[in-house]
Structure 1
Amino acid sequence: MAHLDSRGLPISTASNLAAERYREGIDLMLSTWPGAAEVLEEAIAADPDFALAHAARARQHAMRSEPALAKARIATAVELVVRRGTDRERSHVETLSLVINGRSAEALDRVSAHADTWPRDVVILSLPLGAFGLLAFSGRADHDKARVDLCERHASHFAADDWWFLTYRGWSHAENGNVAHGRDLTQRGFDLRPRNANAAHALSHAMYEGGANDEAERLIQAWLPTYDRSGILHGHIAWHAALAALEHGNTERALAIYGEHVQPSVSTGNAINVVSDTASFLWRLQAYGHPVPKGLWQAAAAYAAPSFPGAGFAFVDIHMALLAAATGDREGLERRVSALMGMIEDGTLAAGPVVPTICRATLAFADGDYAGCARILEPAASEVVRVGGSGAQRELVEDMLLLALMRSGEAAKAGALLDRRLHRRPSPRDKAWHGLLAA
């Protein structure tokens, strides 16, 4: 009898143990839950020629920001799947190989074709989804809608109790503005598998987008202790709690959460989360008028510098700009902008001109040139979505524009922007800012 994966697709292994461990390892990986690597290694030990297990291990290395190990593992999988693998497994491994080797545009096309043939191959279907998925980092302005379209196109192939699909279908709807529906779907996914960091994360986002900040804070406070600190998303989900505390003006609690869970010396997240979480939290703290304790900016910048030395990763570039501006590294920021402009000229920066624009605006804001910041940023505001990430992460750029407008005397423009934000998502901070403008 052929072995099947957790969604009923045949897998090429004769080992009962390898099949069992593979199913378990994939579900742990899709939950961003500790233990996936160890369980997948058990699958490989039980069947060293099991290509899909090697491919999953490669994916896990990539998720852990271990590119050399990921490339070595996927190369092994490519070699093995030729000798023993179905058409689906060969396409699966080849698609992951494109992703791991940085050929994202090709991978996105390949995912679409693969999912049309094998929609229940969830490892591959997961690749375009999420805040850091192939669609988010494609440079497309419509990537939020594209995720919804992808999920809805394949929804009929998933059972009503598939916790993974419910989570990502819900996330996609919430990020695309259908917040109530998205929250309902995500809640169902979370209830089915609470030991799922992606579901806890997606649900906190849906709550945030719906203006239910207090509920999000309570959710994280109750759930985070169940998630081991070694989990990739531990620091990032704590970052959400720190932002919620900051939203209420409780800077002491926000800084305590940052110090215990988020800062580089304690976080076990991957580099993109650590850099973006630290830079954006410290920027918000300072921009909202609170002092940043001595050494925090420097520690974040010291961690980030070797992690992302070059330009071209749009989402990271804007956070590197925050760090450079805050630490006075004008030369480094201008060097990054120059490199980004060169990539625009040769057509290799998918997100386009909005990336150096945000970097320049960041420097103007740090210099106290609020009119200049607003002048740079306002025409590009609708293009910020191209850098990827979540709506909550990109909101930092909108905050920068809003504060620049307020501080440069553009009360009417600031008020109009606040009105739109309050209509979309009421928040304590926006209400307070609206009161300042009205006073």
Structure 2
Amino acid sequence: MADRQTLTGASDAAAVLFETAQHELRCFVGDPVASVEAALADSPDFAMAHAFKGWLYGLSTDKEAMPVTQACAEAAARLAGTERERTHAAALGDLAAGGWHRAGKRLAAHTETQPLDALALQAGHQIDFFTGNAEMLRDRIARALPAWSPDIPGYHAILGMQAFGLEENAEYAEAEKFGRRAVDIEPHDGWAQHAVAHVMEMQSRQHDGIAWMRDNEAGWTEGSFLQVHNWWHLSLFHYDLGETEQVLALYDGPIYGSGSTLALNLLDASAILWRLMLGGIDIGSRWSPLAENWLPKARDSNYAFNDMHAMMAFVGAGRDDAARDLLAAQEVAMRADDDNAAFTREVGRPATLGIKAFGEGRYADAVEALRPLPAIAHLFGGSHAQRDVIALTLIEAALRAGDGYLARDLTAKRLAARPASPLSALFARRAAMLPPPA
């Protein structure tokens, strides 16, 4: 626990509740919102508790959470008694105003002098993820790591974050080592579990990935609010093997059986259904309820990465009205003075238009929209595994458009990068069957 004197406005009881909330967030388990609310009920002037609550809301990517984030930033700033508290309040204010990059830079400067501030490291790490900053995903944690040791509470989470940062920089052996060590220390660390899954996904180690997830299933599912995303990772391994029945069973069960309305869960649901649709799998009626839950967010265009996945659901469900609303919202978003305007202009808008064109059978238009994106897709956030859907859609569009030259080029590159992937081999065989250009 942080030095009791550094927690301005906290009683001893509130400080314990705050540490509980931090542990829950580090593991992605339990209900950190409830824990921090209990801390605030006990100590309403607890500055860091207000900041912590603000991070929980602000990193949700839901537009409706931003007023809460702003209120928390203002409360933390008003009550702050330490430089740490003032920094968190200011970074939260940056985030609430759409300044993702400013918030991340502010936290990075802070942890250079306070490397044991686990909350600042975790919030910054999430910002790096949402902005697609792979180098900082690794380096933010690497710079702080020498100050940490196994006897410090939360050490496992630092290892798990470093594992994910290493994986996003293709340092797979080191990433797996860090992630496995984190899970050995804390089996309920869902982020570390997911980091190793990412390694195996990128290396096309499908059977290893299935075993990795199944062997510690209780650890990453019990009480975990990251479990939907980890179930999604399991589904990717089955998808690459062509085991579509298992993928659909996972979708109908733990991935989207509950019909969640959280943006992060909606995103995973869209992402796996779209992959199945690309493979010609009959989705049945699954698109419609998913699209309904995306509808309230169609006019938000709060985070471009979400827009692309909302469009998948609208196209899949035939909701032209919602698709039009989303595109209109993007027009507004691109005129805003915030980071999402750039996310949308550079990647989100063409990706969303490409998805729409593909769904309408305009495969040449989809190729035109999507072809420049794989090289720059990191600019609108997400991970390599998540952004792979753009590459998959581009390949399928090229195949269906009959563009043999492009299809062979794309599939050859994918086969070289993922030679053990059955899906890569299938793409290559299909591309080889297309006639040469006239």
Return the TM-score normalized by structure 2: 0.87
Q: CA deviation at 1:69?
A: 4.7
Distance change (3 Å), C-alpha of 1:114 and 1:434: same
CA distance in 2, matches of 1:328, 1:166: 44
Contact preservation (8 Å) 1:344, 1:353: no
CA distances 1:111-143 after superposition (whole Å, capped 9, x unpaired) = 2222222222121122232xxx323444x6xx1
Contact preservation (8 Å) 2:182, 2:189: no
**Which runs of structure 1 show a deviation greater than 6 angstroms over 4 or more consecutive aligned residues?**
none
Contact preservation (8 Å) 2:299, 2:325: no
CA distance in 2, matches of 1:74, 1:390: 28
Letter in 2 for 1:360: L
Return the TM-score normalized by structure 1: 0.86
Q: CA deviation at 1:172?
A: 0.8
Distance change (3 Å), C-alpha of 1:9 and 1:372: farther
State whether structure 2 residue 26 is matched by structure 1 residue 27.
no
Letter in 2 for 1:253: Q
CA distance in 2, matches of 1:128, 1:312: 19
CA distance in 2, matches of 1:309, 1:341: 11
Counterparts of 1:235-274 in structure 2, within 5 Å, are: 235-263=228-256, 266=258, 271-274=262-265
Distance change (3 Å), C-alpha of 1:306 and 1:257: same
Q: Which moved more, 1:203-212 or 1:167-176?
A: 203-212
Q: CA deviation at 1:413?
A: 2.6
CA distance in 2, matches of 1:229, 1:298: 29
Letter in 2 for 1:377: L
Q: Which residue of 1 aligns with 2:430?
A: 436
CA distances 1:332-376 after superposition (whole Å, capped 9, x unpaired) = 434433443454466651222322211221122112222222123
CA distance in 2, matches of 1:144, 1:14: 36
1:293 pairs, out of 281, 284, 288, with: 284
Q: CA deviation at 1:100?
A: 4.3
Contact preservation (8 Å) 2:168, 2:384: yes
- Name structure 2 gaps, 5 residues minimum: 434-438
CA distances 1:45-64 after superposition (whole Å, capped 9, x unpaired) = 55443321232233334456
CA distance in 2, matches of 1:74, 1:430: 47
1:234 pairs, out of 208, 227, 234, with: 227
Q: Which residue of 2 aligns with 1:181?
A: 174
CA distance in 2, matches of 1:333, 1:51: 42
Contact preservation (8 Å) 2:27, 2:189: yes
Contact preservation (8 Å) 2:156, 2:189: no
Q: Which residue of 2 aligns with 1:80?
A: 79
Contact preservation (8 Å) 2:299, 2:329: no
CA distance in 1, matches of 2:195, 2:242: 24
Letter in 1 for 2:364: A
Letter in 2 for 1:282: L
Q: Which residue of 2 aligns with 1:304?
A: 294
Q: Which residue of 2 aligns with 1:120?
A: 116
CA distance in 2, matches of 1:14, 1:438: 67
Q: Which moved more, 1:298-307 or 1:174-183?
A: 174-183
Identical amino acids, percent of aligned pairs: 24
Aligned-partner SS, 2:292:
helix
Q: CA deviation at 1:326?
A: 1.9
1:324 pairs, out of 311, 314, 318, with: 314
Q: CA deviation at 1:170?
A: 1.2
State whether structure 2 residue 396 is matched by structure 1 residue 403.
yes
Q: Which residue of 2 aligns with 1:170?
A: 163
State whether structure 2 residue 276 is matched by structure 1 residue 282.
no
Distance change (3 Å), C-alpha of 1:379 and 1:91: closer
Contact preservation (8 Å) 1:127, 1:134: yes
State whether structure 2 residue 150 is matched by structure 1 residue 156.
no
Contact preservation (8 Å) 2:298, 2:322: no
Distance change (3 Å), C-alpha of 1:306 and 1:230: farther
Q: Which moved more, 1:92-101 or 1:348-357?
A: 92-101
Contact preservation (8 Å) 2:50, 2:73: yes
Q: Which residue of 1 aligns with 2:209?
A: 216
CA distance in 2, matches of 1:277, 1:49: 37
CA distance in 2, matches of 1:323, 1:184: 37
State whether structure 2 residue 95 is matched by structure 1 residue 99.
yes
Distance change (3 Å), C-alpha of 1:267 and 1:114: farther
- Name structure 1 gaps, 5 residues minimum: none
CA distance in 2, matches of 1:98, 1:198: 25
2:411 pairs, out of 411, 415, 418, with: 418
Aligned-partner SS, 2:123:
coil
Distance change (3 Å), C-alpha of 1:96 and 1:243: same
Give me the CA root mean square deviation: 2.8
State whether structure 2 residue 304 is matched by structure 1 residue 314.
yes
Letter in 2 for 1:415: R
CA distance in 1, matches of 2:358, 2:181: 42
Contact preservation (8 Å) 1:95, 1:124: no
Letter in 1 for 2:423: R
